[in-house]
Amino acid sequence: MAKLQRYTQAILAVALLQWPSASTASQFTMTNEPAFEAMRNCAQICVAAPFGSLPEKLDCKYPYQNECLCRVDLAGVASKYLTSCVPKQCTVGPPDADLSSMMNIYNSYCLSNGFDVTAAPAVVTSASSRSNNGALGYHGRTNANGCKRGYGESAG
């Protein structure tokens, strides 16, 4: 009986070692970040919705991996998608703050996991001036005092 138990345990151990699994180190967990959770729902939808979100636009398979969602060569696609999605979803108030925050969260998350998506060449300059390629950079408009200003405010 003891011999059978050891044999069964050995088979089980070998089977578990060969079981396919995703590495938790590379699993995309940006949606668990406190900064992401603090975002308005309208902006979160662009990354975390079941359909039509960033993973789908980048053609990433579930379970989502950093190696797909943070690929430098796909930064332009991600930038184009987010600069389109966030303003469409966040219809109450100007989307500049939501877009800027989402891009900063994405950039920081990817960089902290070893992917510098800001290394792509072009930079998005505003929600109304969307880039078709380039890094997830975003620079909101500022007034003379260096403060971000919303839509309809004067440049002075």
Mean pLDDT to the nearest integer, 6-32:
54
Give the distance, in angstroms, between the CA of residue 22 and the centroid of all CA atoms in the same chain.
19
Tokens of 65: 């991996």
99 lies in some domain: yes
37 lies in some domain: yes
Instruction: Convert the pLDDT of each residue in 67-95 to its tens digit.
Output: 999 999 999 999 999 999 999 999 998 87
Which range has the top average pLDDT, 37-41, 121-125, 139-143? Answer: 37-41
58 lies in some domain: yes
Residue 74 near residue 59 (C-beta atoms within 8 A): no
Task: Kindly indicate the confidence band of residue 51, based on its pLDDT and cuts at 50, 70 and 90.
Answer: confident
The per-residue pLDDT for 123 is 40
- Whole-number Å distance between alpha carbons of 10 and 136: 49
154 lies in some domain: no
Domain of 31? 24-138
Helix (H) or strand (E) run with residue 88 in it: helix 75-89
89 lies in some domain: yes
Tokens of 125: 């300059």
- Whole-number Å distance between alpha carbons of 156 and 153: 8
6 lies in some domain: no
123 lies in some domain: yes
Task: Kindly indicate the confidence band of residue 37, based on its pLDDT and cuts at 50, 70 and 90.
Answer: very high
Has this prediction a pTM greater than 0.85?
no
Task: Kindly indicate the confidence band of residue 52, based on its pLDDT and cuts at 50, 70 and 90.
Answer: confident
- pLDDT at residue 21 greater than cutoff 50: no
Q: How many domains does the chain have?
A: 1
33 lies in some domain: yes
